[in-house]
Chain A
Amino acid sequence: MKSRRAAVFVILLFLVLTFGSLAVVSEQAPGKAGEEESPRVYTQWETFYKENGLPANKVYCIAVDGDRVWAGTENGLGLYENGKWTSFNVQDGLAYPAVLCLAIDPETRDLWAGTMKGLSHYSAGRFENFTQLNSGLPNDVVFGVCVENQNIWVATTAGMGCFHVTENKWDVYTPANSPQHEPWGYFVTYADGKVYAALWGGGVLEFDVATKGWKSWLDPDGEMEIDVFRDDGLIHVITTSVSYVDKVLWASTYFGMSRYDGRHWRGYIEGDSGLPSNFINMVKARHNVAWVCTDRGLGTVNGDTNRWVSYVPSDPAWKHSRTPVGADGPLEGTKGWEAQIYDDSKLIKTVKLEHGLANNHFYGVDFQGEDVWVATSKGVSHATWKGGNTQ
């Protein structure tokens, strides 16, 4: 840990000298007095609903491609470009209206969209669809997709698949030929030469691309209801997503979140942290800050300092209700939201938001430089960072 801090400090120094401001990399900074807090508090939110051009209000996933943003909804694919949303649906070639996951190939800028009925490959206006009938796709219900070099990985309800795009070749992995304890995959991501998958009831799976070796993490206590020993490992086997950034693994479950730095596990659950809810759909880290999409709010936590900033509706009724807020219409002017700042489990500050978020049931998050885009069960929210909190 020491050495790392040192490194960070050097970077900071360097940045101070060059830019004189830390805003640009603020999330890397430990929350020291006088310096900007991490996680930072985003106060400038704009929201998009169907009436703003979204294909549909229920948005399962969101992916940033440079200055473009893709949103996968229950009824079509939305593309946000030059301040405008355009929609794509089956008549345009999309495999199926309900889009569950998105991945962008950084090299080709092609979009890969997992739907309830097949995998769509969108490239310069052309949709190419892969189904369990016409390709090696393990199953039509594609919950997770990611790009690994020139290969596309999918997590489906009946196993994982790796599509070698350039060779038009599929590798299919099921419990029969890999250490999957469950075939039902929820999420898949690629980082540092490894593919990570979150399996429903199967914990977290790691595939080393170079060695083709598998590694599997399960909940050591094997308890389904409660986490017996804190920090003994993965908090629960019903994992929903995984994120690997700066050598730190984040895993979200329906029963809390886990963090693994390669040596130690740490568990986060509602109550003893700023986590808005244990029911987590997705976690995605940017440097040392993880963004946590729960069914009752959006949490952000600095993995080093365990400082939280959670975005939740102020009204406790909303905060605690499991039914998504404003399900019967846009949250009135998205008012009544606040950012709650926790130090570990202690609420230390609350910041009222002038413009709140679209909805408090969060499905997905992605980053656009300093900006953040989140997908909710009713609309999309976009937070802009203009170098500093406005409090």
Chain B
Amino acid sequence: MLSPQGTLSVLTGEFFAAADPSVSFDGKRILFSAKRTSQEPWNIWETDPDGKNKKQVTQNFGDCREPRYLATSSITPPEFEGRVRWITFTSNAANTYDEFGADLSTALYARNLETIEGRGFITRRSTYNLSSDFSPTVLRDGRILFTSRQKGSGPRLAHGRFLLLASNWDGSGLNLFCGDSQGATLKTMACEMPDRNLVFVESEGENADASGRLARVSFRRPLHSYQSLSRGEGRYRNPCPLPDGRLLVAYKAGRETYGIYLFDFEKGQPGQRLYQDAKWESIGAVPLAAAPEPTGLISSVIDTETTADLQCLSIYDSDQPGASEIKRGEVKRVRLVEGVPISKGTKEKITALPPGVPRSRSRILGEVPVEDDGSFFVKVPGDTPFYIQTLNAEGMALMTMPNWIWVRRGTSRGCVGCHENKELAPENRVFLALVRLQETALLAPPEQRRTVTFQKDIFPLLEARCVSCHGGATPASRLDLASGNARHIGAVYSKLTASRYAGAAEPGEPYVTPGSARKSRLIQVLLGKTAIPAKPHPEVLRDEEKKAIIEWIDLGAQPED
């Protein structure tokens, strides 16, 4: 702790490592994450500003980091008395891989600091992303804003995309706050300034510690007000406002260690330096001061419930690329695809994946009819990550939602559109799905949810139906699905997904375009839509077999389960 007089005192001497300080709204307590030995996992602790009255908050819950105080809220109906203080933090306790490699993914959790009558202490998971959610900050309106790594799609997003999402403290009401359409790919360490700007650190991920340049967006137009703040080479971390609107940052230029500075908005450079230590990196400074209490929220999450309601007003209300080409009435159904996290320890064959295809298991929750006005109404399993695909009459994906969403158990979620322009309020009209009051329930138990994999479903199909012609000495139209002595799944897989199809105009245009059956030559041929290479074969496969291939491709044409 650095006093105004400049005297320095260490509050966490007894720890092997301590980080992520966060000061309570009354300025009287400090949350931080720490580990006593190098072996033990990180946990959340709370202390007085003078280092006294330390209290361990989390235990045996993986690595717990980045704690933040939340507004006081209550969760017990009907009178919702017993309003208590909650905190949010990140943890990898779920013990599952994220979609981009071997790291464990982190999620946001909420925990009460004071006991709730009759329920004691509760730790609730707030976010259910397959990959990591991290770097939370608490906004004045009571929401948590955090960086979310999402699967994304397309080669450019091989390593996924990073979004600034905001949700209620209990994880309900998840919404995009500021995407990657402006500024750098990775935005993190965000904080709300008194002047209603959001300042954050942005980078392309070049620095392991996620440090980078400073930038901001305005709350008046988060999606269209990006502004770069810092100029020059140095690396910034942990911006944090002082009550008077000045900005604390950690900054390092070149080889020197991080120091604590006041940022100079005029010059776009670090201004007055408050502290620096030649040997230690000084980061994560927070002012020890009271701040206004954010708006509380009575949580609508019901822990004993397993389902949730989702209602979309109009799937045509979308600003996704390609949305404008979709004609009204063209979408007949939506497909809800569940993302199944892969737990640590489970034996996983990791083969090289085509770019943009994240590594995760998919299960089909089911399909929901879409009304003429684009509305649908569905009951889904709560706390389950999924994405939505809009389907045409042939059951092929027109659009695929590029990120995972979830609905907290027992809550009702309404969407204005599908990935719509977040600056638009909904239209005030009655939506057919609600007039009809016919809710589709997609509540099959996990073991009964459909999966389609190359190994289990597609490869055997090729074996049975195609190889007779597309194999042997002179495979039809030079497509040999029986290459190699041993029929090697991987080889066949890459034949379909990697190599150019026979007679393709574009070199390297494959038979299968992962993620879009509609664009895949293979499907066009099988449906008799195109005559390349030779004759169309609509009759070769049965409908359910075609459906399997369509689903396999729409879900990303994964090589193995």
Touching chains A and B, CB distance < 8 Å? no
